[in-house]
Structure 1
Amino acid sequence: MSSPVNIPFQSFISIDRDSSTSIYLQITFQFINAIQRGYLPTGLKLPGSRTLSELLGVHRKTIIAVYEELDAQGWVQIHSNRGTFILDKEPEKIKIKSSESLQLYSYPRQTGFSFNKTNILDNPYEYGDFLYRWNDGTPDYRVTQIETFTKFYSASLKRKQNQKKWAYSKEEGSIYFRKQLSNYLNLTRGLHISDKNILITRGVDASIYIISQILLEKGDKVVVAETSYFAINMIFQKNGAQILTIPIDKYGIQVDKLRELCEHTTIRALYLTPHNHYPTTVTLSGSRRMELLQLADEFGFVILEDDYDYEFQYDKNTTLPIASADTNGMVVYVGSFGKTLPPGFRTGFVVAPENLIYEMRKYLGIIDREGDIMMEQVLGELIEEGEIHRHLKKSIKIYQQRRNNFANILKETFGNDINYQIPTGGLAYWIEWQKSVNLLKISQECVKYNLLIPRTLLYQNKSITAMRIGFGHLTTEEMKNSIEILSKSIVSISTSH
């Protein structure tokens, strides 16, 4: 039998003398881990207490305590005058591996059991370390007044009267925030709601997921526009829904086509982004909004209205949500609050009649009962103090200027080769190419010049060649440089054929 001294005990036993866990327990736990993972095979004779104490640099009594603990737990067996062995009935018959072949295995890479897998929810986003990275329209957190919000948060934490709100309660989240948010939404979006009509979530996707759990059953038909937000469609499909599509034009979804669909099939829900349709940025006309409400009443389907970027409006004539004109409880309104704030301050919400909110809170209570109480407290104070209005007013000026700059750069670079409309809201452009180009190859070429254009921004089939490009996160210089890369890549692809 090979000598136990040849086993490199120092390679799997590490002692932290600053730890609150006693040294003998640290060594014991690491011995157990090594036995479980096969590093120390059954039948192995361990070194004597004096030898191992010298190897590990600890007192001999510590090793004696380790061996006694392992013996008490049934991991080793101590034989008087013979030594200590990894527990086995006949240790002398076990052959020990050479020290060169021994290895401490890491945590298992795969489960030892089967489970259900889904391809529907695979992450479609692309990431990478590039100088320029386009997205579908996100704010630039470099322009947020982080110092202001930090002061609000710090002051709220120190305020003694807020500390009692940290305790668990029967309510999900902060009632104070829901009251402030309901006032804010009534003022800015023409709603007529109270805190009882609001559910606070982690974001729009989370809101849609909870709604789908309650409203949809397997086989239910959900209508979306022909081009729509893929991530939300994934949620519907994961819940067993069948996706149906209707065309869209410059006035939004074609309501007459929706009526034709409703007349020969049962529709459970219509999902749309009427303020700035995703991805084309088209605004649904006022007359079609009223027609949709009439159709929902007539055929009994739910309108899921997603106002993901309502806060970004540049024209004086503000278009109110469909939910503001709903009198029969057919609209479930979903949105995002604080999108101009730093990432950690953003939150999602659902507005609906009380009976649906009551049911949704049951689901929220399972996955996120308490929410972020302190953050919600701070957001409520930002609303009550008027800081949200002041910050949004400053931000809109910056993003409106960026929108205009982006339009000028597009025109100077591509002229009549592309078609686009300057969006009245939101943080993205919808650009259609007038000539035949291969967008996927162009995006691959852009990577060579340090520009990432994710595939999720590309829309190309027999009838359309288009791209959704966000401008909010780009400075003027970043716009010019990245558009120049796009132009250079298009030329490179064209000349190579």
Structure 2
Amino acid sequence: PGLKLDEGAPDGRLFPADLLARAYRAAAQRASRENLFQYGNPRGSLTLRENIATMLKSQRGLPVTAENICITRGSQNGIFLAAHVLVRPGDTVIVEALAYEPAVAAFRALGANIVSVGLDEDGIDVEAVEHACRRNAVRAVFLTPHHQFPTTVSLRPERRLRLLELAHQFGFAIIEDDYDHEFHFESQPLLPMAGYGPGHVIYVGSMSKLLLPALRIGYVAAPPPVIDAIAHMVSLTDGMGNTLTEHAAAELIENGELRRHARKVRQVYAKRRENFAKEIDRSLGDLVDYRMPDGGLAFWLRFPNTDLDTMEARAAAMGLRFAASRSFMTRDDAPRGLRIGFASLNEHEARTAIAALREAAG
């Protein structure tokens, strides 16, 4: 069937199935005891919202309570709901030149006018954002400041503060997608922008990278009026989330198992990151430019002297599949590269993957 490389997924084999089974069993028993098998709150389980609010406050500096949280079916659902609440047809939304395509597609589906601005090794070009704001009535800026998707760079603190100043000056909302905050390997991670300007930031997070992507648990943190509007959208679409799964996730947080699991997999992924870099240097050294990612679960690989269209066609013929470099581009002059996940690959799989990329590169 060939080889499929992801864009930064966790390794589901590392999550202990018996842990999940115990959490579901405890959640089911509690739901039976407390009569929780009824239709629930569109904001999600109060217990889980309280747990997430405590985590965001203590670990990420967000001044939030359960009233600031709505549980979603993964971060993409959270982005779409936030966009639906904010954006009307014709509104301008600023995105980075390289961005998470499903999010950009969500804004386009809502009729947004997309303005793409450049980014470099320090993150989004805030001067270009200001310039765009002077030419358009900007409704929102969507970005991934922590481990930028797809390039993995972190937005510098001074640029974060300037962006918050611009949000205040021009009255736009920042949608901050912090999709894998837990996985940072160098020093302390920068705290989310939502902690510095909570009135201007809609913060979207996910538990999918820590738990399992198949469980689809994300959340939005925002001022209560925004959460009310998002909860209303949930009630119009599927009414509520998956109560049992939400209670199981809350159980894993409360009993400390999620934190222990996070510590364990961070160590595994840190080793895999080092190993992946060694394999890149060994097999692709003369073809590729890259920087070691400070965090996240993927590498951004640039091939300055290789035609990526040809490389991707050759890879497809070999049965090697990965996200097309063009899929990240929101403007024609954006720098091209490949985002290749390392976390889901053990040592042997990583070697096989890099060797296949070398063959495809010619």
TM-score (norm 2): 0.94
Change (3 A) 1:456 1:203: farther
Deviating more after overlay: 180-189 vs 274-283: 180-189
| Root mean square deviation, CA, Å | 1.9
Task: Deviation per CA, 1:217-267: give whole Å up to 9, x if none.
Answer: 111100011111111111111111000011101100111121122223211
Change (3 A) 1:231 1:160: closer
* Partners of 1:172 and 1:369 within 8 A in 2: no
* Partners of 1:459 and 1:467 within 8 A in 2: no
Q: Does 1:306 align with 2:143?
A: no
1:159-238, aligned counterparts within 5 Å?
159=30, 162-169=33-40, 172-238=43-109
* Partners of 1:146 and 1:342 within 8 A in 2: no
**2:310 paired residue number:** 441
Task: Deviation per CA, 1:269-310: give whole Å up to 9, x if none.
Answer: 100000011111110001111111111001101111000111
Change (3 A) 1:365 1:468: same
- Residue 382 of structure 1 aligns to a residue whose secondary structure is helix
CA distance in 1, matches of 2:118, 2:179: 21
CA distance in 1, matches of 2:60, 2:210: 17
Change (3 A) 1:142 1:341: same
**1:252 paired residue number:** 123
CA distance in 2, matches of 1:172, 1:198: 7
Change (3 A) 1:466 1:357: same
CA distance in 1, matches of 2:326, 2:6: 7
Amino acid of the structure 1 residue aligned with 2:94? V
Change (3 A) 1:457 1:398: farther
CA distance in 1, matches of 2:77, 2:42: 19
- Residue 206 of structure 2 aligns to a residue whose secondary structure is strand
**1:146 paired residue number:** 17
Choose between structure 1 and 2 for higher RCO, CA contacts under 8 A separated by at least 6 residues: 2
CA distance in 1, matches of 2:135, 2:311: 42
Change (3 A) 1:412 1:162: farther
Q: Highest Rg: 1 or 2?
A: 1
**1:63 paired residue number:** none
Amino acid of the structure 1 residue aligned with 2:215? F
CA distance in 1, matches of 2:72, 2:221: 11
Q: Does 1:243 align with 2:114?
A: yes
- Residue 199 of structure 1 aligns to a residue whose secondary structure is strand
Task: Deviation per CA, 1:90-113: give whole Å up to 9, x if none.
Answer: xxxxxxxxxxxxxxxxxxxxxxxx
Amino acid of the structure 1 residue aligned with 2:263? K
CA distance in 2, matches of 1:490, 1:432: 12
- Residue 417 of structure 1 aligns to a residue whose secondary structure is coil
Q: Does 1:397 align with 2:262?
A: no
CA distance in 2, matches of 1:321, 1:351: 11
**1:273 paired residue number:** 144
CA distance in 2, matches of 1:402, 1:489: 22
1:338-353, aligned counterparts within 5 Å?
338-353=208-223
**1:325 paired residue number:** 196
Shift of 1:403: 0.8
CA distance in 1, matches of 2:55, 2:208: 12
* Partners of 2:320 and 2:356 within 8 A in 1: yes
Shift of 1:451: 2.0
Change (3 A) 1:463 1:442: same
Q: Does 1:157 align with 2:6?
A: no
Q: Does 1:264 align with 2:142?
A: no
Q: Percent identity?
A: 33
CA distance in 2, matches of 1:408, 1:230: 29
**1:110 paired residue number:** none
1:345-424, aligned counterparts within 5 Å?
345-424=215-294
Amino acid of the structure 2 residue aligned with 1:409? E
**2:206 paired residue number:** 336
* Partners of 2:234 and 2:240 within 8 A in 1: no
* Partners of 1:136 and 1:457 within 8 A in 2: no
Shift of 1:156: 2.6
Shift of 1:463: 6.7
CA distance in 2, matches of 1:457, 1:480: 25
**1:96 paired residue number:** none
CA distance in 1, matches of 2:350, 2:41: 49
Task: Deviation per CA, 1:38-90: give whole Å up to 9, x if none.
Answer: xxxxxxxxxxxxxxxxxxxxxxxxxxxxxxxxxxxxxxxxxxxxxxxxxxxxx
Deviating more after overlay: 232-241 vs 205-214: 205-214
Q: Which runs of 5+ in 1 are unaligned?
A: 1-128, 492-497
Task: Deviation per CA, 1:391-445: give whole Å up to 9, x if none.
Answer: 000011111111111101001112242110111111111111131x222322232
CA distance in 2, matches of 1:355, 1:160: 29
Task: Deviation per CA, 1:433-461: give whole Å up to 9, x if none.
Answer: 131x2223222322444422232576686
CA distance in 2, matches of 1:337, 1:189: 14
* Partners of 1:339 and 1:346 within 8 A in 2: no
**1:297 paired residue number:** 168
Q: Which runs of 5+ in 2 are unaligned?
A: none
Shift of 1:167: 1.7
**1:490 paired residue number:** 361
CA distance in 2, matches of 1:406, 1:309: 19
- Residue 271 of structure 1 aligns to a residue whose secondary structure is strand
* Partners of 2:92 and 2:140 within 8 A in 1: yes
Give the counterpart of 2:321 among 452, 456, 463. 452
Amino acid of the structure 1 residue aligned with 2:296? G
Change (3 A) 1:192 1:237: same
* Partners of 1:410 and 1:483 within 8 A in 2: yes
Task: Deviation per CA, 1:107-158: give whole Å up to 9, x if none.
Answer: xxxxxxxxxxxxxxxxxxxxxx32x211211111011112112112123323
Give the counterpart of 1:425 among 295, 314, 319. 295
Length, aligned pairs only: 360
